[in-house]
């Protein structure tokens, strides 16, 4: 799909054509990845973070937030719960936390792989190549790192670089600058990881054109996993406080600001499916947060084929509030499991058996990633 066609769909507001878009995306999902919905058990292993992302509720400037880091035994016990519930994958997610020692995590990964047949996905922010290689060698299968927006000046504005660390790009504003996360994603693929990325929808300053370019980037990166959700302002963050330095005057992008709505999220899910037919695409918690009643189901009916039930112990959930009123903050792992099973059955879909690797993985298999 070319840029202008994507842009046309992002601006479409009429019900009839949108109904056709949902149908096309759903047919494409069915033809390429089938009716199974894969369950990825999410373990939020630490809410410590050294970054100052302007949108994120666990960024290091949120001083009032109580911080936690799970123990290896707590993580292992979540992994065993995943097996008990029949999940094929666990996703270990955290803020960018150097307190997660590379050798310690490699050991946790090895223990999960030795004791279960789970696929292991990591979502731990920007880590050094040696650490990423170590975790891959320990058995990690997949890595998620959203690029958040392909508009580099917007990205740089909402995602200040770590002081003392260069991001490996040309100076912001330079026409030849590359998005730092594209480079990391390519390195992850070289290491043999299945790679996942995605964006937030409706960041202040993000235009329809930007979002169309984001969707094109999903295709050019040939992602195996694509996660998208609406931007949800967090009142304890600089962007959520909406200061004039962080948000461009509306006149600068008049009429072009992309809204952070539920409808826009479905459009991006559907277009991601059509541009990357065999990717694994979750119906995300952020979507469930803005429509608790039917958001997950509608995501699954408009292109998504994955959900991520939360396995994080209940005592830590509220501390992982990257945006406010996050869904499933009080529910136990068993609650989320039961809830999602019911929702999947309710729309006539089945639960995926096994790891649920993306068919796209075969295109990228290297000797390091086989076996
Ligand atoms: N609103 C929506 N999504 C957010 N994320 C972080 N903060 C917010 C927010 N305020 C998303 C980012 C990140 C993922 C883990 O959560 O896209 O990559
Ligand atoms: Fe957690 Fe529904 S998925 S309660």
Q: Model pTM?
A: 0.94
Task: Inform me whether the pLDDT recorded for 247 exceeds 80.
Answer: no
Q: Is 371 part of a structural domain of the chain?
A: no
Does the residue 100 lie in any domain? yes
pLDDT band at 371, cuts 50/70/90?
very low
Query: Which three-class secondary structure state does DSSP give residue 208?
Result: helix
CATH number for the domain including 150? Answer: 3.20.20.70
For residue 176, what are the domain limits? Answer: 3-355
pLDDT for residue 364 is more than 80: no
Residue nearest to atom 4 of ligand 2 (CA): 336
Q: Under 8 Å CB-to-CB from 14, ≥6 apart: which residues?
A: none
120 pLDDT tier (thresholds 50, 70, 90): very high
Substitution site in 314, 327, 332 for ligand 2 pocket (most atoms within 8 Å of beta carbon)? 327
Q: How many domains does the chain have?
A: 1
User: Is the separation of the CB atoms in 269 and 281 below 8 Å?
Assistant: yes
Residue of 209, 206, 207, 204 whose CA lies nearest to 245: 204
pLDDT digits (tens, 9 = 90+) for 285-332: 999 999 999 999 999 999 999 999 999 999 999 999 999 999 999 999
In a domain, 294, yes or no: yes
pLDDT single digits (tens) 57-96: 999 999 999 999 999 999 999 999 999 999 999 999 999 9
Residue 362 lies in a domain: no
The ligand 1 atom at the shortest distance from the C-alpha of residue 200 is: 17
Q: Please tell me the predicted confidence (pLDDT) of residue 301.
A: 98
Where does the pLDDT of residue 174 fall: very low under 50, low under 70, confident under 90, or very high at 90 and above? low
Q: How far is ligand 1, taken at its centre, from the CA of residue 152, in Å?
A: 17
pLDDT band at 255 (very low <50, low <70, confident <90, very high): confident
Question: Is residue 303 in some structural domain?
Answer: yes
Q: What is the mean pLDDT of the chain?
A: 92
Let me know if residue 17 belongs to a domain. Answer: yes
Residue 274 resides in a domain = yes
């Amino acid at each position: 799909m070319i840029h202008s066609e994507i842009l046309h769909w992002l601006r479409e507001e009429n019900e009839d054509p949108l109904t056709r878009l949902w149908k096309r995306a759903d047919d494409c999902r069915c033809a390429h990845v089938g009716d199974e919905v894969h369950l990825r058990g999410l373990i939020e292993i630490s809410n410590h973070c050294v970054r100052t992302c302007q949108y994120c509720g666990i960024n290091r400037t949120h001083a009032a937030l109580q911080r936690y880091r799970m123990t290896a035994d707590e993580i292992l016990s979540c992994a065993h719960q995943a097996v008990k519930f029949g999940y094929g994958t666990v996703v270990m997610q955290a803020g960018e936390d150097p307190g997660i020692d590379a050798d310690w995590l490699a050991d946790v990964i090895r223990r999960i792989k030795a004791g279960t047949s789970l696929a292991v996905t990591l979502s731990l922010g920007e880590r050094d190549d040696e650490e990423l290689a170590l975790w891959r060698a320990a058995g990690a299968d997949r890595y998620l790192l959203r690029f958040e927006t392909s508009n580099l000046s917007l990205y740089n504005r909402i995602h200040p670089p770590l002081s003392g660390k260069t991001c490996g790009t040309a100076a912001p504003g330079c026409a030849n600058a590359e998005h730092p996360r594209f480079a990391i994603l390519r390195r992850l693929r070289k290491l043999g990881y299945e790679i996942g990325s995605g964006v937030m929808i409706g960041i202040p300053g993000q235009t329809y054109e930007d979002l169309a370019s984001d969707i094109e980037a999903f295709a050019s990166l040939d992602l195996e996993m694509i996660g998208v959700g609406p931007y949800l302002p967090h009142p304890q963050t600089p962007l959520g406080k909406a200061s004039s330095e962080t948000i461009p005057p509306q006149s600068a992008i008049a009429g072009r600001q992309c809204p952070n709505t539920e409808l826009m999220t479905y459009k991006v899910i559907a277009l991601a499916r059509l541009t990357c037919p065999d990717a694994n695409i979750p119906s995300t918690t952020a979507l469930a947060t803005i429509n608790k009643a039917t958001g997950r189901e509608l995501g699954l009916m408009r292109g998504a084929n994955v959900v991520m039930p939360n396995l994080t112990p209940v005592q830590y959930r509220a501390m992982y509030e990257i945006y406010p009123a996050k869904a499933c903050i009080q529910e136990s792992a068993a609650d989320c499991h039961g809830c999602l099973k019911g929702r999947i059955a309710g729309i006539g879909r089945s639960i995926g058996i096994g790891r649920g690797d993306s068919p796209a993985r075969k295109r990228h298999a290297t000797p390091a990633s086989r076996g």
